[in-house]
Amino acid sequence: MKPAIWLDGSLCDPDSAMVSVFDHGLTVGDGVFETVKATEGRAFALTRHLRRLARSAAGLGLPEPDLDEVRRGCEEVLKAHPVPFGRLRITYTGGISPLGSDRGTAGPTVVVALVEAARRPDATAVVTVPWARNERGALTGLKTTSYGENVVALARAREQDATEALFGNTVGALCEGTGSNVFVVLDGQLHTPPLSSGCLAGITRALVLEWVGAKETDLPLDALYRAEEVFVTSTTRDVQAVHRVDSHTLPGAPGPVTAEALRIFVERAAADIDP
Ligand code: PLP
């Protein structure tokens, strides 16, 4: 099924929806985005996603997005394309700008696309990334379209039959994945890196902290090899157990703490579409 596209204020035909080749989001990655889970025509945790979009835009110095307009775009594509399970991708960029000049003169570009998606398996393999995530950079914690580093790391993971790559930061602490946050169980206690590690303030991470409870702890990257259980969280993965980190296996994944976290997450998410 073709995606549904909403571009700068109205629904468009996906085959003819066009963004300028001079859009600053395309030429220099001057944009921010959100991926929102859509089930049965409804967007999950949309208010949190819109708030994060606005925070990322502010961090990048983009004009403040009109969140009512973006919400309307989401509602319109959901109405036009009521897939049982999908992903809404919201992209907000600096807009059109002649090459070599500063950002957009014609106002920002706003795109909302809805695509059908496959559900993720219960457990997955991950690898660690051999370079560091900068926990003190200008873009740290912002969900910008400058995701090249994540694309390269994810390609390495795929070469090793894994679906996610986990970063340490510049001081060797566990940080996050290319598109997920990470939780580990050590001595029966659930931990996740704090935001100061440089990780994105993941919405699934926040919901697991609120609903399940975990300690925000600075951990060395090799805690992944000592952990009794590891799981990753994201909009597209929910709570997903990890059964292998590099060549180290975690037999029996999902273990009891992960299984309980997933159970609570699914139950609470089903009860509240916009927590
Ligand atoms: N970390 C990064 C770098 C991400 O891109 C994402 C989501 O795409 C996450 C973590 C998880 O965030 P969320 O749970 O809001 O999807």
Q: What is the share, in percent, of the chain residues with pLDDT greater than 70? A: 97
Mean pLDDT value across residues 14-20: 87
Q: Does the Cβ of 233 fall within 6 Å of ligand 1?
A: yes
103: Cα within 13 Å, side-chain hemisphere: 18
- pTM for the model: 0.96
Q: Is the CB of 163 under 6 A from ligand 1?
A: no
Q: Which of 36, 146, 167, 200 to mutate to test the pocket of ligand 1 (most atoms within 8 A of CB)?
A: 200
Give the residue, 213 or 109, on which the prediction is more confident.
213
ipTM rounded to 2 decimals = 0.99
Residue 100 alpha carbon to ligand 1 centre in Å: 31
Mean pLDDT of 200-206: 98
Instruction: Kindly state if the Cβ of 192 falls inside 6 Å of ligand 1.
Output: no
Nearest by Cα to 81 from 42, 120, 51, 109: 42
Q: What is the arithmetic mean of pLDDT over 171-176?
A: 98
Q: Say yes or no: CB of residue 56 within 6 Å of ligand 1.
A: no
Over residues 46-74, the pLDDT tens digits come to: 999 999 999 999 999 999 999 999 999 99
Does residue 107 register a pLDDT over 80? no
5-25 in b/e form (b: 16+ CB < 10 A) is: bbbbeebeeeeebebbebbbb
Q: Is the pLDDT of residue 105 over 80?
A: no
Residue nearest to atom 7 of ligand 1 (CA): 179
pLDDT tens profile 114-148: 988 888 889 999 999 999 999 999 999 999 999 99
200 Cα: distance to centroid of ligand 1 (angstroms): 6
Residue 104 has pLDDT above 80, yes or no: no
